[in-house]
Amino acid sequence: MEESNIITEEVKEERDPEIDEAESKKFQWTKDKIVLAIIFSIIILASIALLIVIIVDKEFLFLTIRDWFIAPIIGIHVAWQVLLFLALMVLQSLFAPIPSELILLSGGMIFGWVWGTVIGVAGSMVSSVITFYLSKRGGRAIIDATGEKIGILKRSILVFDIWIKRWGLWAILVGRAVPVIMFDPISYAAGLAKVKDWQYFLATFIGSIPRSIFYVFLGQQLLAGNPIEYILGLTPAEVDDVAGKFNTYFFIIFGILVFMFILSNVIYYLLKRKQAKEASELPETKEDNNTEEETISQEDLKEPIKEDTS
């Protein structure tokens, strides 16, 4: 019986402490957390509204990027171009449905291969700092305070916490370097999870380099050798064609985000199921083994002791 209790304690120790600790942790609001949580909530609601518009209006995404991101930059001094591009990267990061990937693509059109990559990495770093700390201060407060009321989101964050703990810098690096994984949700998720600042910034910088190169390449491909002014003079038929390509990129990236969100919840349930199974079955197995050993020993004792005649 004592051995069974010891095994039960061992099983509890093997369980993922992040899940148990996060589920039982009490939360207290502070003034700063309330303000940041309100800002974070407004951003989420605005992002959902933008996502609905993008789905309904086929040309909205491309025309928004062309008229509000590309057109204002063309024709002004290069220093103002860079500053405006960085500002637009920050603005975009606060409204997730307009992916930073499409802004990087636009940067490739405007600045070319080399400077498009350099400015793309710089813009990624600036926007990632803002979204990371905003999410870390305000977003985590919402998750901790609401608990099971938004359990599906909390489960994803708990799994991300475990992933970060096990893989550290490499977890963020993979999320940054793979082009089809959305940049901004990783920033928000890293802020919600327990990611060390230095790991986040180092992995973001390294991962942003191949990411920027990839989308600069796509931007150059869309221009097909034409100058950037070509985008401003498209015919309705050409707008429809280019808008279709933009939407294809967007829905591929967004679809992978949804898949990762669902997968994280599946992983959570598998972890919980494994914990429950280990806690319930291992002690019973040990008890069965002890019973079997005791039975064998008692039967052996019943047999007459044979003297060694050799």
The DSSP code sequence of 2-69 is HHHHHHHHHHHHHS-HHHHHHHH------HHHHHHHHHHHHHHHHHHHHHHHHHH-TTHHHHHHIIII
Place of tokens 């059109």: 109
- The structure's pTM equals 0.66
Please tell me the distance from the alpha carbon of residue 138 to that of residue 130, in angstroms, as a whole number: 12
pLDDT for position 307:
46
User: So where are the chain's domains?
Assistant: 2-287
Please tell me the distance from the alpha carbon of residue 146 to that of residue 150, in angstroms, as a whole number: 6
pLDDT for position 293:
43
Question: What is the full per-residue pLDDT of the chain (310 aa) written as tens digits?
Answer: 444 444 344 444 444 555 555 455 555 667 766 766 776 677 677 777 877 888 888 888 888 888 888 888 888 888 999 999 998 888 877 765 567 788 888 899 889 889 999 999 999 999 889 888 877 776 665 555 554 444 566 677 677 777 777 777 788 888 888 887 777 777 777 877 767 888 889 999 999 999 999 999 988 888 878 888 888 888 888 888 888 888 888 888 778 878 887 887 888 888 888 888 777 766 555 555 554 444 434 444 344 444 444 4
pLDDT for position 96:
55
Q: What is the CA radius of gyration of the chain?
A: 28
The dihedral sign for the CA sequence 207, 212, 215, 221: negative
pLDDT for position 154:
67
